[in-house]
Amino acid sequence: MSVVLSVRDVVKTFGAVRAVDGVSFTVQRGTITGLLGRNGAGKTTTIRMITGVFFPDAGSIEWLGSDRDARDRIGYLPEERGLYRQMKVKEHLLFLAEIKGKRGSSVTAAAERWLKRFELWDKRDSKVEELSKGNQQKVQLIGTLLHDPELIILDEPQSGLDPVNMLLVRNLLRELKDEGRTILLSTHMMAEAERMADEIILVHKGKVVLSGALDAVRDSFGKNTLHIDYEGDGGFLEQLPQVKRATIVPNGAEISLADGADPQQILEATIGKLRIRRFELAAPSLEEIFIEQVGAETMTMEASR
Amino acid sequence: MNKMFAVIKREYLQAVRKKMFIFMTLFFPVLMAALFVLPGLLMARGLGGKKVAVVDGTGALRSSFSRKISPEAPDPKKAISGGNRGELPQTIDVEYADTHLQTPSDGAKPYLDRLNVPKESGNRLDAVLTIPAKAFEGNDAKMTYYSRSSADVISQDRLASIANRAIQKQRLAARGIPAEAVDTLTREVPTEGVQLSKSGEKKTGNEFNFIIGMIFAGLLIIPSFIYGLETMRGIVQEKSERIVEVLISSMSPRELLTGKILGVAAVGLTQITAWLTIIAAGGAFAAASAKMAGFNVSQFLRPMVFVYFALFFLLGYLTFVCIYAIAGAACNTDKEAQQLVAPVQMIMMVPWFVMFPIITNPDSTMAVTLSMMPVYGPLTMFARTLVSEPPVWHVLLSIAVSIATIAVFFYVTAKIFRVGILSYGKRPTIPELWRWLKVA
């Protein structure tokens, strides 16, 4: 595997706020890399520096392995979507390709192929403003891919999509990866990242708190997390002495065990209270890891004040 | 370069397809002409159908006011330029009353009452002119003109001058000068304005220079404002609809700005080309009929006028558009942006407000100075070339100043644009804009 993009110690401040504070990571060719973090963690600012919208105050962003203009190698779907409302769909797509340096019959053919695939062929001559929001999103996504980019940067691509379109995007990303393209996926939805990403970069308050291959990251947290599915009210699980932390959802819980705790004791405690359907000791979910990392960091920061 | 071309193409095609563009292209010259010719025609019309009572306390002026009114349509040229002041205007219907046997107030009263009767009665008067009994001798004698509309100065002036001439004639007759001799002695000699240029051509019809000049000046400056505003709205729209991020991640802000400005400039050039074609075609047709009215339209349709028009339009537009682009980049809504440019717009409009003195006196110090100034140069210099022949170095200097102005404006705009286009906060103040300029 080779590195496509290398981000080194980039800093961006807005007034007194350090939105991005010394972020470094690399993106490997042919992977889906998840850039994760809460809203306001610095994900979008980092992406805007990669796409050339902002100049970093310090640090460097390096592109490797091609002499094509860096801007033209990226397909960028911004978090805040925007299209010219008055333009016709196909015309708009060709414009988006043209500002990435691609024009001519091959692009027109590609646009037509994408429109058919996304069930927008009938709407090719409609104005963008006549389309539903979901369809506008699809148009923007096609616009991101039409110029055949090497690196596809998607900022919250699934926000505002219905489950069917979410599945469509998910399948599309896998397909793009299979074609050998590199994808940088920014999201705050951990479950989604867990399904898609090969590599993750966890950002919090402008700093990278965790990064690496998803499997390796999860393994490093050990197999001391209980995943339980049940029927009944599991609220009492939180109070048990063997539990360090519990995330309770309706009909299920993810429990971090206290050091040296025996999971068997927890199972015993549930007898007569819950009807167990699944009881598994495994690595923690990404969400759990995220909460642990960010929680710990937040606590140390508060203690240092 | 290709990316900039993509932006130019998009801006151009989007604009020329709009219904507003097609409408403006076809009807704006007509509209401009109407704007300046109509008031003249209306003024002339306004003289028609007027019923005025002349209440003569001397009882001796009947013959001057009893001419039969001809039903012809008014001649707009005469209506505007004044015609022969001694004659009764052909469109005023005079009702003469000899009241020298009555007291002045008794004599006038029935007529004054008729000023305010309902129009339908057919008996209504538009004005009443009273001439005092001692008009011939009294040093402090005064005529009074009563009317419903105080603005009707033309009718008042006309009637008063007729009365005065009649009174003067009678005074002279009283001193033994025969009536025929009086006419000869008091005849006015009419004046015709002829402009003799260096190249030796003669131009006549000076009173129409103003109207033609205003029409051309309007055609030159109004599109600059319209397309400036259009560019500003486009930028605000790209910001508010978040298109700008995709654009800026694909090209430099300078490429984007240049593409937008040139695209809209191409739209403007297309439009004025269409206008000039319409004017040339219409002018050739109108020239024949206009000649009958005593002025020569074709003297304004020299080829150089068209060249200067296109050139100064472009210079004017490129100067103004930068200001609009800054406003667009700095603001998030059309309303905010318009508030920001409104005061600047007033400053830019200065030559338009002083167009009358510029056209009537194109070589005055004011006209020459304005034509060499940044921002004001294009419109003023165009107006000067239209109505006179300024020295070539004046024209070249004006063009050079404009090009330098545009270069500086563009440099500043590109910098502010770079910062502003990605800022979504509240509208920046002027000091903040200044800081942006230094940061970028």
- For residue B204, the model assigns a pLDDT of 53
- For residue A25, the model assigns a pLDDT of 92
Indicate whether B129 pLDDT > 70.
yes
State mean pLDDT over B122-139: 81
Please indicate whether, in this complex, the C-beta atoms of A83 and B251 are within 8 angstroms of each other. Answer: no
Please indicate whether, in this complex, the C-beta atoms of B250 and A72 are within 8 angstroms of each other. Answer: yes
| Closest listed residue to residue B383, CA positions, set B195, B203, B215 | B215
Tokens of A243: 């539990």
- Distance in angstroms (rounded) separating the CA atoms of residues B146 and B104: 14
Give me the torsion for CA of A183, A186, A189, A190, rounded to 10°: 70
Three-state SS at A110? helix
Interface test with B, best of A86, A99, A151 (most B CBs within 10 A): A99
Helix-, strand-, coil-residue percentages of chain B, each rounded to 5? 65, 5, 25
A45 CB within 8 Å of a chain B CB: no
Average pLDDT over chain B, rounded to whole? 77
Please indicate whether, in this complex, the C-beta atoms of A52 and B238 are within 8 angstroms of each other. Answer: no
Indicate whether A183 pLDDT > 90.
yes
Distance of residue A113 Cα from the nearest chain B Cα, in angstroms = 22
Higher pLDDT, A149 or B359: A149
Q: Which positions in chain B have a beta carbon within 8 angstroms of at least one beta carbon in chain A? A: 2-3, 6-7, 10, 14, 237-238, 241-251, 422
A146-155, B182-191, B356-365 — which is least confidently predicted? B182-191
Please indicate whether, in this complex, the C-beta atoms of A81 and B242 are within 8 angstroms of each other. Answer: yes
Q: Tell me which chain A residue has its CA closest to the CA of residue B238.
A: A84
A14 CB within 8 Å of a chain B CB: no
**Single pTM value for the model:** 0.72
Contact residues, chain A, for B242 at CB < 8 Å: 78, 80-82
Indicate whether B393 pLDDT > 80.
yes
Distance of residue A178 Cα from the nearest chain B Cα, in angstroms = 26
Inter-axis angle of helices B392-420 and B430-439, nearest 10: 90
Indicate whether B303 pLDDT > 90.
no
| CATH class given for the domain over B48-190 | alpha beta
| Tens-digit pLDDT profile for residues A249-275 | 888 888 888 887 888 888 888 888 888
Interface test with A, best of B238, B250, B415, B426 (most A CBs within 10 A): B250
Of A48, A80, A100, the CB nearest to B242: A80
Tell me the domain boundaries of chain B: 2-39+205-439, 48-190
Task: Report the run of H or E that residue A103 belongs to, with start and end.
Answer: none
- Distance in angstroms (rounded) separating the CA atoms of residues B338 and B323: 11
Bridge partners of A253? A228, A248
Tokens of B410: 């563009």
A101 CB within 8 Å of a chain B CB: yes
Beta strand A252-257 with A225-231 is antiparallel
Give the up-direction half-sphere exposure of residue B323: CA atoms within 13 A in the CB hemisphere: 23
Contact residues, chain B, for A86 at CB < 8 Å: 14
- Distance in angstroms (rounded) separating the CA atoms of residues A296 and A179: 39
- Distance in angstroms (rounded) separating the CA atoms of residues A150 and A140: 17
Average pLDDT over chain A, rounded to whole? 85
Q: For residue A96, give the DSSP letter.
A: H
Contact residues, chain A, for B247 at CB < 8 Å: 99
List Cβ<8 Å contacts ≥24 apart for B370-374: B371/B398, B372/B397, B372/B398, B372/B401, B373/B401, B374/B319, B374/B401, B374/B402, B374/B404, B374/B405
A73 CB within 8 Å of a chain B CB: no
Contact residues, chain B, for A51 at CB < 8 Å: 249
- For residue B74, the model assigns a pLDDT of 45
A188-192, B3-7, B176-180 — which is least confidently predicted? B176-180
Angle at the Cα of B228 (from B222 to B234), degrees rounded to 5?
135
- Chains A–B, number of C-beta pairs less than 8 Å apart: 61
Inter-axis angle of helices B392-420 and B253-292, nearest 10: 140
Indicate whether B85 pLDDT > 70.
no
Please indicate whether, in this complex, the C-beta atoms of B249 and A87 are within 8 angstroms of each other. Answer: no
The amino acid present at B18, given as its one-letter code, is K
Question: Do the Cβ atoms of B158 and B85 come closer than 8 Å?
Answer: yes
Indicate whether B284 pLDDT > 70.
no
**CATH numbers and ranges of domains, chain A:** 3-212 (3.40.50.300), 219-304 (3.30.70)
| Tens-digit pLDDT profile for residues A289-304 | 887 777 755 544 444 4
Please indicate whether, in this complex, the C-beta atoms of A100 and B250 are within 8 angstroms of each other. Answer: yes
- For residue B332, the model assigns a pLDDT of 81
Indicate whether B119 pLDDT > 50.
yes
Tokens of B25: 């292209």
Indicate whether A94 pLDDT > 90.
yes
Indicate whether A57 pLDDT > 60.
yes
- Distance in angstroms (rounded) separating the CA atoms of residues A68 and A48: 19
Which residues, 6 or more positions from B436, have their beta carbon under 8 angstroms from its beta carbon?
Answer: B415, B416, B419, B420, B428
